[in-house]
Every structure is written in structure tokens, then in C-alpha cells.
Amino acid sequence: MAKQPMLKFVSIERDMPSKRDADQRNKDFNEIYAEFADEKAKEQASRCSQCGVPYCQAHCPLSNNIPDWLRMTASGRLEEAYAISQSTNTFPEICGRICPQDRLCEGNCVIEQSGHGTVTIGSVEKYITDTAWEQGWVKPITPATERDQSVGIIGAGPGGLAAADMLRRAGVQVTVYDRYDRAGGLLTYGIPGFKLEKDIVMRRVEQLEQSGVEFVLNCNVGEDLSFDAIRGKHDAVLIATGVYKTRVLTYPGVTAEGIVRAIDYLTVSNKLSFGDEVPEYEDGSLNAKGKKVVVIGGGDTAMDCLRTAIRQGATSVKCLYRRDRANMPGSQREVQNAEEEGVEFDWLTAPKGFVGEPVTGVMVQKMRLGAPDASGRRAPEVIEGADYVEEADLVIKALGFEPEDLPKLWGVDGLEVTRWGTIRADFQTGQTSLDGVFAVGDIVRGASLVVWAIKDGRDSAEAILDYLNDAKAVAAE
């Protein structure tokens, strides 16, 4: 029968000698916590009913073999659980932390469906690979043979890194170019550290470096180095640049000081997590401390801004969203987390302007849900005469991201884009309209999820390998 970890926890607290120093206490805590996690993981894993209809697996974009690694975990065979888990997922400990499991694997767990609460699949996945790292089971890649072909990857986010990993395993020479000073993309500078600790991302980057992947950072392709130069240097190119153009608000007063973009606010907060000195935080322009904060938007980026503002010591944190709770795009779990932390949600509200310079308030109009629009969602409509001003001295615009105009920015003829500005690419292979050029992740899908970027990166790496093999065969003829 499973032990009771909480009881154990309490008994150690009671027995703790008063003269024990802080380091020792931390060590004890970590040991207890590890044991607690071990018990918890086993307990959760053993709840899997091995139902024979693994809806969880079917709803995981990577088709992770969840029942098998749960069974291994339940029986204490963690190294085998790790081997199964990492065979389909390049970064299981990252997905375990930040996948919206309620919409994916866990939301489709048969036990959840029968009303008994899901197996916490994400936590177990995280636990397995965290343990693998602790135990030294995660090793740098050592390809069986080296190939004389190289691939240039533009963008060091999860899509680019997942492809880099797969290509390196096949012995391809890989160079990753990124305009940021650190690799990781939104894992590093978008998703806050309280959801995804930065050392978890950095150890993956280091693992890839130790595996022979070359990183060229602070390199803005299109400015510091041309796309054509990269294409000329490598046998194939993968574009994994994500989407970064913020949707524009045109309301009166929108240019006032104190109205900022979510990506800028979160990047600064993430830089602080690395211990960087950040002037925009020090001078207060991207710091919520002591401020009334209003976040506009209802997606996961908005949730991250809200929860970051709480942690920075804002006096109040409000979210304005034009639809209701049931119709918001963000994860319900995230809303619940934010509420528990003290965020107030003003559903069915939208900005119509801003007051003050610097900003002192948001002019808000009340909304109701009308008939469904072309997308099938009920469209918000303004309730006339119900406007009010919401006080604010920091307003964060979190309205989603769009692709930059890459063909224009990079001066590339023939790189086709869709009407949304995303790169037109085959969803299975990532093949674009240019020979030897592939694309994956958000720049193809539009703003999406880490797990989908990983899936795309892995799939495209396979297609790139086929392409390289074909090129070799032609050269040998």
C-alpha cells in the first residue's frame, strides 16, 4: 500500500533539532521532498487503469506512450520509464511542466472522464525526466557516424531545438542562429520562471552544445546575417522563428507611457530570473511593484502577465477580457491559478481608450455575447451606456502575436506565406516552397504550443534527413 508522504513530512518537522543550520535544513527538505515526489509519482502512476483505449495518448500531440511509462513508474522501473518517455518527446520535463494538460492528455484520461479525477500525467512525466537528469541518465548525443552535411536552423525555440537534437543524433552538423542572447525562444524569454524554471531550459541547451550543436546567438537573421548567406552555407535550412508581432491597438491614448507590450514585460521579468541587470525594471517602466495593473487579453500570455504582476508586488491586478470565462482562449487551470493568487477578472469588458499621460486609467466598455460569428464563437457586442474608467498605472497589452513578414524582412523571393502571414509549409514535413528550406512551429501554425513545436521539429528533422540522403544519392550518381 502507498505510504503517506504528508505524515512523514510532519514527523520530520517535529523531530528537527533546533540548532540545525539552514543548509542542513534545505538538504533535509530536498530529501523529504524527493521522497514525497517519488511516492506521489508512484501513487499517481498506479491510478492508471491501463484502460486499453488510451485517449490520453491519442490526445498528446507527440503520441507519448503514456500507459507504458505510467506502468513502469508505478513499479519503480524509472530508467525504463525514462527510455520510453524520451523516445517520443525531446523535452519531456518541459512538457510535463507547461503543457495545458487539461486540454490534452489529462483532459482525456478515462478516469477523469468517469469523474474520479485525472491521473496527473504531466507531473509524472516531469518527475521521470527530472529523475533521469539527477541520476545522470540524460547524456550528450554521440552520433554513431558523423555526416559531412550541415543544416542551418534559424530560431532556437522548442521547434528549432527539437530538430537540432534529432539531426545531431543522425550525425548531421547543426548550427542554430538566434537573435536573442540565450537559446530557448519563448521557453527562455516568454514563459515565466514560476512555470518553467530557467535552469531546466538551460541544461537542455548545454546538452545540445555538448552534443556538438553550434549556437550563433545575438544574430538577427535579415540584419546581422542574410537568409541567403545561411542558405548558401548549409545543405538545408530550417526556419523556426516563432511569431512575435504584437497585435496593434488603435484606441485613443494608446501611446501613453505605462502602456506596454506583454512580450517586453515578460522578457524583462525572465531576464531578472537569470540575475541580469535590467534597466527597464530598475527604472520602473516594466515593473509592476506598487502599481495598479490592468492586463488586456484572455489567453495564456495574459495569464502569465497577471501572475507575474502579482509576484512583483502590484497593489491590484485586473484582467479585462471581452468574452466570458467559458469562452476565453486561455487554460481554465491558469485562470484558477491566477484567481487563487489574487487576480480579479472583469469578464465581458473591452478597452475603448486610455486616460492620462502617463496612463492613469483604461476606458472600459461592457460587452455581452451575441450570435456566433464565422468562427462559430459567439461574438462580443458592446452594451451602450455602460462605460466606466478602470484605474491603472501599468497596462499590459496581451492580445496575441502574429508572424513578421519574413519574405520582406529577409528579402527572399519565392518563400510563400499564407493569408495570415505564416509560412506555407507541408504540415507533416515542414517543406516550404523553396528547395531545401523547411519551416516548423509557430511560424507555420501561428501562435500555438510548445508540444506542437517539438512535434513539428521532430517530424521535419526526419524529412530533412530524407532530403539530405536524396541529395547525397544524386551527388554520387
- Closer residue to ligand SF4 (CB): 130 or 235: 130
Among 48, 74, 78, 121, interactor with ligand SF4 by CB under 6 A? 121
Window of 129-137, 220-228, 339-347, 460-468 that interacts with ligand FAD by CB under 6 A: 220-228
Paired with 355 in beta bridges are 361
What is each CA distance from 86 to 91, 110, 431, in whole angstroms?
7, 24, 25
Binds 319, which of ligand SF4, ligand FAD, none (CB < 5 to 8 A, cut-off by type)?
Answer: none
DSSP 417: B
> Which triple of cell numbers denotes residue 367?
460587452
Binds 178, which of ligand FAD, ligand SF4, none (CB < 5 to 8 A, cut-off by type)?
Answer: ligand FAD
CB of 248 to ligand FAD, least distance (A): 17
**CA dist., res. 440 & res. 159, Å (int):** 6
Q: Which SS3 state, helix, strand or coil, does residue 293 take?
A: strand
Residues 88-107 that bind ligand SF4 (CB under 6 A): 89, 95-96, 99, 101, 104-105
**CA dist., res. 161 & res. 461, Å (int):** 10
Binds 201, which of ligand SF4, ligand FAD, none (CB < 5 to 8 A, cut-off by type)?
Answer: none
Helix axes 78-88, 121-135, angle to 10 degrees: 110
Window of 74-82, 158-166, 284-292, 419-427 that interacts with ligand FAD by CB under 6 A: 158-166
> Which triple of cell numbers denotes residue 410?
529577409
State the SS3 of 18-33: CCCCHHHHHHHHHHHH
DSSP 248: P
- Closer residue to ligand SF4 (CB): 105 or 154: 105
Q: Write the binding mask 79 to 118 for ligand FAD: x where contact by CB under 6 A, - elsewhere.
A: -------------------xx-------------------
Helix axes 66-74, 78-88, angle to 10 degrees: 170
Among 43, 93, 112, 125, interactor with ligand SF4 by CB under 6 A? 125
- Closer residue to ligand FAD (CB): 266 or 399: 266
Residue 185, interface with ligand FAD (CB under 6 A)?
yes
Residues 402-461 that bind ligand SF4 (CB under 6 A): 451
The pair phi, psi for residue 157, each rounded to 5°, is: -80, -175
Q: Write the binding mask 54 to 93 for ligand SF4: x where contact by CB under 6 A, - elsewhere.
A: ------x-x-x-x----------------------x----
Judge contact between 354 and 382, C-beta under 8 A. no
- Closer residue to ligand SF4 (CB): 304 or 390: 304
**CA dist., res. 288 & res. 262, Å (int):** 12
Helix axes 121-135, 22-45, angle to 10 degrees: 130
- Closer residue to ligand FAD (CB): 306 or 364: 306
Question: E strands of 102-164, at which residues?
Answer: 150-154
CB burial readout 223-256, b (16+ within 10 A) else e: eebebeebbeebbbbbbbbbbbebeebeeebeee
- Closer residue to ligand SF4 (CB): 102 or 387: 102
- Closer residue to ligand SF4 (CB): 201 or 451: 451
Residue 122, interface with ligand FAD (CB under 6 A)?
no
| Residue 382, number of CB atoms within 10 A of its CB | 15
CB of 399 to ligand FAD, least distance (A): 11
Residue 154, interface with ligand FAD (CB under 6 A)?
yes
Give the binding-site size for ligand FAD (rule: CB under 6 A).
Answer: 36
Binding site for ligand FAD (CB under 6 A): 98-99, 154-160, 177-180, 185-186, 190-191, 195, 219-222, 240-242, 266, 300-301, 304, 441-442, 448-451, 453
